[in-house]
Amino acid sequence: MNNIFAVAGVVIKELYRRKDFYVLFIVTILICLVMASVNIFNDAKIVRYLKEICLLLVWISSLVIAITTTSRQIPAERENRTLLPLLAKPLTRSQLVLGKFLGCWLACGLTLLCFYVFFGALSASREHHWPLLNYFQAAVLHWFMLGVVVAMTLLGSLVFAASSSNSTICFVVVGSILFVARHLDQVALTLREPLRTVIYSIYFAIPHLELFDVRDLVIHSWPLISWLYFSLALLYALGYVAVFLTAACLVFRRKAVN
Protein backbone atom coordinates (compact mmCIF):
# COMPACT_ATOMS: atom_id res chain seq x y z
CA MET A 1 0.00 0.00 0.00
CA ASN A 2 2.81 2.38 0.92
CA ASN A 3 4.50 1.99 -2.42
CA ILE A 4 1.23 2.76 -4.24
CA PHE A 5 1.11 6.05 -2.36
CA ALA A 6 4.75 6.71 -3.15
CA VAL A 7 4.03 6.40 -6.88
CA ALA A 8 0.93 8.59 -6.52
CA GLY A 9 2.95 11.20 -4.68
CA VAL A 10 5.37 11.57 -7.58
CA VAL A 11 2.48 12.06 -10.01
CA ILE A 12 1.03 14.83 -7.88
CA LYS A 13 4.43 16.49 -7.54
CA GLU A 14 4.76 16.39 -11.29
CA LEU A 15 1.39 18.08 -11.75
CA TYR A 16 2.16 21.03 -9.55
CA ARG A 17 5.69 21.44 -10.80
CA ARG A 18 4.60 21.61 -14.41
CA LYS A 19 3.01 24.69 -15.88
CA ASP A 20 -0.11 23.29 -17.60
CA PHE A 21 -2.32 23.51 -14.57
CA TYR A 22 -1.44 27.10 -13.80
CA VAL A 23 -1.92 28.12 -17.40
CA LEU A 24 -5.39 26.58 -17.58
CA PHE A 25 -6.37 27.99 -14.22
CA ILE A 26 -5.27 31.50 -15.07
CA VAL A 27 -6.86 31.38 -18.51
CA THR A 28 -10.13 30.28 -16.91
CA ILE A 29 -10.00 33.08 -14.38
CA LEU A 30 -9.20 35.66 -17.03
CA ILE A 31 -11.97 34.59 -19.38
CA CYS A 32 -14.48 34.56 -16.55
CA LEU A 33 -13.46 37.99 -15.34
CA VAL A 34 -13.67 39.40 -18.86
CA MET A 35 -17.10 37.85 -19.24
CA ALA A 36 -18.15 39.25 -15.87
CA SER A 37 -17.18 42.72 -16.96
CA VAL A 38 -19.49 42.70 -20.00
CA ASN A 39 -22.32 45.14 -19.49
CA ILE A 40 -25.69 43.56 -20.17
CA PHE A 41 -28.48 46.15 -20.05
CA ASN A 42 -26.89 47.75 -17.00
CA ASP A 43 -27.95 44.80 -14.89
CA ALA A 44 -25.26 43.64 -12.48
CA LYS A 45 -27.25 40.76 -11.02
CA ILE A 46 -27.22 38.50 -14.07
CA VAL A 47 -25.21 35.49 -13.02
CA ARG A 48 -26.23 32.28 -14.74
CA TYR A 49 -24.45 32.92 -18.00
CA LEU A 50 -21.31 33.51 -15.99
CA LYS A 51 -21.80 30.28 -14.05
CA GLU A 52 -22.31 28.45 -17.30
CA ILE A 53 -19.18 29.83 -18.95
CA CYS A 54 -17.12 29.20 -15.85
CA LEU A 55 -18.33 25.62 -15.49
CA LEU A 56 -17.77 24.96 -19.17
CA LEU A 57 -14.17 26.12 -18.85
CA VAL A 58 -13.74 24.09 -15.68
CA TRP A 59 -14.99 20.99 -17.46
CA ILE A 60 -12.77 21.49 -20.45
CA SER A 61 -9.71 22.26 -18.35
CA SER A 62 -10.27 19.33 -16.05
CA LEU A 63 -10.64 16.94 -18.95
CA VAL A 64 -7.53 18.33 -20.59
CA ILE A 65 -5.55 17.98 -17.38
CA ALA A 66 -6.88 14.50 -16.63
CA ILE A 67 -6.29 13.10 -20.09
CA THR A 68 -2.95 14.71 -20.89
CA THR A 69 -1.47 13.98 -17.47
CA THR A 70 -2.60 10.39 -17.43
CA SER A 71 -1.78 9.53 -20.99
CA ARG A 72 1.84 10.54 -20.63
CA GLN A 73 2.51 8.77 -17.33
CA ILE A 74 3.51 5.30 -18.46
CA PRO A 75 4.87 6.25 -21.91
CA ALA A 76 7.15 8.78 -20.23
CA GLU A 77 8.38 6.19 -17.74
CA ARG A 78 9.08 3.94 -20.68
CA GLU A 79 10.86 6.54 -22.78
CA ASN A 80 12.98 7.84 -19.93
CA ARG A 81 13.54 4.25 -18.87
CA THR A 82 12.60 5.01 -15.26
CA LEU A 83 10.23 2.08 -15.52
CA LEU A 84 13.24 -0.22 -15.19
CA PRO A 85 14.60 0.90 -11.82
CA LEU A 86 11.02 1.17 -10.60
CA LEU A 87 10.04 -2.37 -11.51
CA ALA A 88 13.35 -3.71 -10.25
CA LYS A 89 12.13 -2.71 -6.80
CA PRO A 90 9.55 -4.62 -4.79
CA LEU A 91 6.71 -3.00 -6.72
CA THR A 92 4.45 -5.17 -8.81
CA ARG A 93 3.12 -3.94 -12.11
CA SER A 94 -0.41 -3.84 -10.74
CA GLN A 95 0.75 -1.66 -7.89
CA LEU A 96 2.37 0.66 -10.39
CA VAL A 97 -0.89 0.93 -12.36
CA LEU A 98 -2.85 1.55 -9.16
CA GLY A 99 -0.34 4.13 -7.98
CA LYS A 100 -0.47 5.97 -11.27
CA PHE A 101 -4.26 5.92 -11.21
CA LEU A 102 -4.41 7.15 -7.66
CA GLY A 103 -1.89 9.90 -8.37
CA CYS A 104 -3.69 11.17 -11.45
CA TRP A 105 -7.05 10.98 -9.76
CA LEU A 106 -5.93 12.82 -6.64
CA ALA A 107 -4.20 15.38 -8.83
CA CYS A 108 -7.49 15.91 -10.66
CA GLY A 109 -9.19 16.26 -7.31
CA LEU A 110 -6.80 18.99 -6.26
CA THR A 111 -7.31 20.85 -9.53
CA LEU A 112 -11.06 20.56 -9.20
CA LEU A 113 -10.85 21.93 -5.68
CA CYS A 114 -9.10 25.06 -6.96
CA PHE A 115 -11.50 25.45 -9.85
CA TYR A 116 -14.65 24.99 -7.79
CA VAL A 117 -13.47 27.40 -5.10
CA PHE A 118 -13.04 29.99 -7.82
CA PHE A 119 -16.42 29.09 -9.24
CA GLY A 120 -18.07 29.46 -5.87
CA ALA A 121 -16.43 32.82 -5.30
CA LEU A 122 -17.44 34.03 -8.73
CA SER A 123 -21.09 33.10 -8.42
CA ALA A 124 -21.33 34.24 -4.82
CA SER A 125 -20.03 37.64 -5.86
CA ARG A 126 -23.30 38.12 -7.73
CA GLU A 127 -25.83 35.82 -6.11
CA HIS A 128 -24.93 36.47 -2.50
CA HIS A 129 -25.72 32.97 -1.36
CA TRP A 130 -23.66 29.81 -1.01
CA PRO A 131 -25.42 26.59 -2.00
CA LEU A 132 -22.44 24.66 -0.67
CA LEU A 133 -24.08 21.27 -0.80
CA ASN A 134 -24.97 21.73 -4.45
CA TYR A 135 -21.38 22.66 -5.23
CA PHE A 136 -20.21 19.67 -3.24
CA GLN A 137 -22.42 17.30 -5.21
CA ALA A 138 -21.36 18.81 -8.52
CA ALA A 139 -17.66 18.69 -7.68
CA VAL A 140 -17.72 15.16 -6.32
CA LEU A 141 -19.66 13.81 -9.28
CA HIS A 142 -17.25 15.62 -11.58
CA TRP A 143 -14.31 14.12 -9.73
CA PHE A 144 -15.64 10.58 -9.95
CA MET A 145 -16.30 11.07 -13.63
CA LEU A 146 -12.67 12.11 -14.02
CA GLY A 147 -11.77 8.91 -12.18
CA VAL A 148 -13.39 6.91 -14.96
CA VAL A 149 -11.64 9.04 -17.57
CA VAL A 150 -8.27 8.60 -15.85
CA ALA A 151 -8.68 4.82 -15.61
CA MET A 152 -9.73 4.64 -19.24
CA THR A 153 -6.81 6.76 -20.37
CA LEU A 154 -4.42 4.66 -18.33
CA LEU A 155 -5.69 1.55 -20.04
CA GLY A 156 -5.35 3.33 -23.38
CA SER A 157 -1.76 4.31 -22.64
CA LEU A 158 -0.93 0.64 -22.20
CA VAL A 159 -2.79 -0.48 -25.30
CA PHE A 160 -1.75 2.25 -27.74
CA ALA A 161 1.92 2.87 -28.19
CA ALA A 162 2.08 6.63 -28.78
CA SER A 163 0.88 8.85 -25.96
CA SER A 164 -0.35 11.58 -28.30
CA SER A 165 -2.56 9.23 -30.27
CA ASN A 166 -3.84 7.85 -27.01
CA SER A 167 -4.85 11.24 -25.70
CA THR A 168 -6.54 12.13 -28.97
CA ILE A 169 -8.49 8.90 -28.89
CA CYS A 170 -9.47 9.48 -25.29
CA PHE A 171 -10.65 13.03 -26.01
CA VAL A 172 -12.78 11.80 -28.88
CA VAL A 173 -14.26 8.94 -26.85
CA VAL A 174 -14.99 11.05 -23.78
CA GLY A 175 -16.38 13.87 -25.92
CA SER A 176 -18.72 11.61 -27.81
CA ILE A 177 -19.89 9.89 -24.65
CA LEU A 178 -20.70 13.24 -23.10
CA PHE A 179 -22.56 14.44 -26.18
CA VAL A 180 -24.48 11.48 -27.52
CA ALA A 181 -24.41 8.62 -25.02
CA ARG A 182 -27.68 9.66 -23.44
CA HIS A 183 -29.50 9.25 -26.76
CA LEU A 184 -27.78 6.22 -28.21
CA ASP A 185 -30.76 3.98 -27.48
CA GLN A 186 -33.02 6.33 -29.42
CA VAL A 187 -30.53 6.33 -32.26
CA ALA A 188 -30.51 2.54 -32.20
CA LEU A 189 -34.27 2.44 -32.68
CA THR A 190 -33.97 4.30 -35.98
CA LEU A 191 -31.46 1.79 -37.35
CA ARG A 192 -31.83 -1.61 -38.96
CA GLU A 193 -30.45 -4.89 -37.62
CA PRO A 194 -27.66 -5.81 -37.01
CA LEU A 195 -26.51 -2.22 -36.45
CA ARG A 196 -29.34 -1.71 -34.00
CA THR A 197 -28.12 -4.44 -31.70
CA VAL A 198 -24.57 -3.15 -31.95
CA ILE A 199 -25.53 0.40 -30.97
CA TYR A 200 -27.82 -0.92 -28.28
CA SER A 201 -25.06 -2.99 -26.72
CA ILE A 202 -22.71 -0.02 -26.89
CA TYR A 203 -25.35 2.00 -25.08
CA PHE A 204 -25.39 -0.45 -22.22
CA ALA A 205 -21.66 -1.13 -22.19
CA ILE A 206 -20.11 2.33 -22.11
CA PRO A 207 -19.71 4.33 -18.92
CA HIS A 208 -22.40 7.02 -19.00
CA LEU A 209 -20.19 9.94 -18.13
CA GLU A 210 -22.96 12.39 -18.99
CA LEU A 211 -24.78 11.32 -15.81
CA PHE A 212 -22.11 13.11 -13.85
CA ASP A 213 -22.58 16.34 -15.72
CA VAL A 214 -24.90 18.16 -13.35
CA ARG A 215 -23.90 21.60 -14.53
CA ASP A 216 -27.46 22.47 -15.52
CA LEU A 217 -28.69 21.77 -12.02
CA VAL A 218 -26.06 24.04 -10.52
CA ILE A 219 -26.45 26.82 -13.05
CA HIS A 220 -30.20 26.99 -12.70
CA SER A 221 -30.20 26.52 -8.91
CA TRP A 222 -32.12 23.27 -8.92
CA PRO A 223 -32.67 21.52 -5.60
CA LEU A 224 -30.14 18.93 -4.43
CA ILE A 225 -29.94 15.53 -6.08
CA SER A 226 -31.26 12.87 -3.76
CA TRP A 227 -28.35 11.46 -1.78
CA LEU A 228 -29.38 7.93 -2.67
CA TYR A 229 -28.97 8.52 -6.39
CA PHE A 230 -25.85 10.54 -5.72
CA SER A 231 -24.18 7.61 -3.96
CA LEU A 232 -25.41 5.16 -6.58
CA ALA A 233 -23.75 7.30 -9.24
CA LEU A 234 -20.48 7.21 -7.32
CA LEU A 235 -20.71 3.43 -7.09
CA TYR A 236 -21.44 3.25 -10.80
CA ALA A 237 -18.25 5.26 -11.49
CA LEU A 238 -16.19 3.11 -9.15
CA GLY A 239 -17.43 0.01 -10.96
CA TYR A 240 -16.11 1.28 -14.26
CA VAL A 241 -12.86 2.40 -12.66
CA ALA A 242 -12.39 -1.12 -11.35
CA VAL A 243 -13.11 -2.63 -14.76
CA PHE A 244 -10.65 -0.36 -16.57
CA LEU A 245 -7.94 -0.81 -13.96
CA THR A 246 -8.24 -4.58 -14.01
CA ALA A 247 -7.97 -4.55 -17.77
CA ALA A 248 -4.95 -2.24 -17.53
CA CYS A 249 -3.22 -4.57 -15.08
CA LEU A 250 -3.87 -7.56 -17.31
CA VAL A 251 -2.50 -5.78 -20.37
CA PHE A 252 0.52 -4.51 -18.49
CA ARG A 253 1.36 -7.87 -17.01
CA ARG A 254 1.85 -9.36 -20.46
CA LYS A 255 4.04 -6.55 -21.74
CA ALA A 256 7.81 -6.78 -22.00
CA VAL A 257 9.43 -3.62 -20.74
CA ASN A 258 12.76 -2.59 -22.16
Partner 1 sequence: MNSPRTFFLLLLALLVSCFGLAAHLQPQFQAWRGSRASGDIFNVVLGDSRRMFANNFFVKADAYYHSGYYPTMFDDTEAFKTTHMAADTGAVKDKNHGDEHGFLGPTRNWIDAFGRNFFPDRHTHLDEGGADDNLGGTENVREILPWLKLSADLDPDNPQTYIVTAFWLRMRMNNVAEADGILHEGLRNCPDSYDILFELGRLYNESYHDLDRARNVWEQGVRLWLKIYPTLDPEMQKDHRFIMEQLTTHLGKLEEDAGNLPHAIDWFEAAQKVSATPAHIQEQINRLKGKLGLEFNPLLKPLY
Partner 2 sequence: MTPILQTQKLRVEYRSRELRQGTKIALHGLDLEVCAGEVFGFLGPNGAGKTTTMNVLLGFVPPTSGSASLFGIDVRQPISRQRIGYLPELTYYYKFLTAEELLRFYGKIFGLTRAEMDKRIPELLKLVELEHAANRPIKSYSKGMQQRAGLAQALINNPDLLVLDEPTSGLDPLGRMKVREIIQRLKNDGKTVFFSSHELGEVESVCDRVAIVHQGELKAVGSVSEVTGRHTSLEKAFLEIIGFQSSPTL
Q: Contact residues for partner 1 (CB under 8 A)? A: 38, 40-43, 45-49, 141, 182-183, 185-187, 203-204, 208, 210-214, 216-217, 219-223, 225-226, 229, 232-233, 236
Instruction: Residue 186: name its binding partner from partner 1, partner 2, none (Cβ under 5 to 8 Å by kind).
Output: partner 1
- Minimum Å gap between C-beta 83 and partner 2 is 8
We find the least distance from the C-beta atom of residue 41 to partner 2, in angstroms, to be 49
Q: Does 13 bind partner 2 (CB under 8 A)?
A: yes
CA dist., res. 8 & res. 15, Å (int) = 11
**Rounded-to-integer distance, Cα 151 and Cα 47, Å:** 35
Write out the binding residues for partner 2, residues 238-257 only, by CB under 8 A: 256-257
- On the 0-12 / 13-18 / 19+ scale of CB atoms within 10 A, 219 is buried
Cα separation, 202 vs 216, whole angstroms: 26
Compute the least distance from the CB of residue 5 to partner 2, in Å: 8
* 90 is an interface residue for partner 2 by CB under 8 A: yes
The CB-side HSE value for 192 (13 A sphere, CA atoms) comes to: 0
Partner from partner 1, partner 2, none contacting 92, C-beta within 5 to 8 A by type: partner 2
Q: Which amino acid is at 227?
A: W
As measured in angstroms, the least distance from the Cβ of 258 to partner 1 is: 43
CA distance 218 to 197: 36
Contact of residue 86 among partner 2, partner 1, none (CB under 5-8 Å per partner type)? partner 2
> 211 contacts which partner out of partner 2, partner 1, none, CB within 5 to 8 A by kind?
partner 1
State phi, psi for 256 to the nearest 5 degrees: -85, 135
Name, in order, each residue with C-beta under 8 angstroms of 194's C-beta and a sequence gap of 6 or more.
none
Residue 61's SS3 state is helix
Does 87 bind partner 2 (CB under 8 A)? Our answer is yes
**Strand, coil or helix: what is 152?**
helix
Q: How far is the CB of 23 from partner 2 (least distance, A)?
A: 16
Segment contacting partner 2 by CB under 8 A, of 57-65, 78-86, 109-117, 216-224: 78-86
Confirm if 216 and 222 have CB atoms less than 8 A apart: yes
Interface positions with partner 2 (CB under 8 A): 2-3, 5-7, 9-10, 13-14, 17-18, 80-82, 84-92, 256-258
